Amino acid sequence: MSFNTYGKKSTAYGGNTPVWLGKGDTIPAGGTLIDQYVVEGALYPAGTPVHLSGMGGDLIPLEVFELQSDLSTADTSIVISVGNLGSAPDVSIAYGILPASGTIITTASDVSSVTGPDVSGNYNLAFSAGAFGAASDGDYLVFAVSTGSNQSMLAPVNGLLWNDIYIETGMTSATATGAVRDSGQVLVDRIPTVPASIQALLPKITFIKEE
């Protein structure tokens, strides 16, 4: 009973899709999502690649945006897909091409505008010529800590979320925490995109494809 109203209420939260096989190790204490990712209605599913700054530290999901065409140093725009977390690109963030190895971006830059989505659900980013160097269709843009040369990725991945993090609509002043695994077996087709160069940063996790 609430305020003289009688009845019943139900809320649908969706299903739980298992992504982990067998046992694995979680990093002690887990972490807390940084403020920019604490958004009403946001869902970060189990298996999301993340950076955990330390025991009980900041937790930052990795967002990747796949290039839909080749990029030359003369280009001033590029078409990218929606992010692996379902997010749209944002002009307030510095971007860089995902490093082939390691976590240092050769050149990170701002973008001047974002348009979209188009009929295919893709976005167009505008920027200064040569801002990112050259890249190929199928490469990824990621967030950088800042603009300039030899910048760190915002989320140099060191684990995957063990369970879902869901921030319920209507939640205010929320704090969201998560546990992180750095070993085990994960069904890669059931989790947000983890590019090969990021998988290489997680040598104790086996990424299993479902045939």
Q: Which residues of 56-84 are buried (b: 16+ CB within 10 A; e: fewer)?
A: eebbbbbbbbbbeeebeeebeebbbbbbb
In whole angstroms, give the CA distance from residue 147 to residue 145.
7
Q: Residues, the chain, total? A: 211
* pLDDT on residue 10: 44
Mean pLDDT (the chain, rounded): 89
Is the model's pLDDT at 9 over the cut of 60? no
In the chain, % of residues over pLDDT 70: 91
Lowest mean pLDDT among 23-32, 63-72, 90-99, 101-110: 23-32
The mean-pLDDT minimum among 128-137, 173-182, 186-195 falls in 173-182
Residue % of the chain over a pLDDT of 90: 76
What digits encode the pLDDT tens for the residues 19-65?
999 888 888 888 999 999 998 889 999 999 999 999 889 999 999 99
**What local confidence, expressed as pLDDT, does residue 117 receive?**
95
**Residue 37 and residue 44 in contact, taking contact as beta carbons nearer than 8 Å:** yes
- Structurally, at CATH architecture level, domain 20-62+156-208 sits in Beta Barrel (2.40)
Q: What is the pLDDT of residue 162?
A: 95
Q: Which residues of 118-142 are buried (b: 16+ CB within 10 A; e: fewer)?
A: eeeeebbbebeeebbeebeeebbbb
Residue predicted with more confidence, 139 or 167: 139
Summarised one tens digit per residue, pLDDT across range 108-140 is 999 999 999 999 999 999 999 999 999 999 999
Reply yes or no on whether the pLDDT at 8 is more than 50. Answer: no
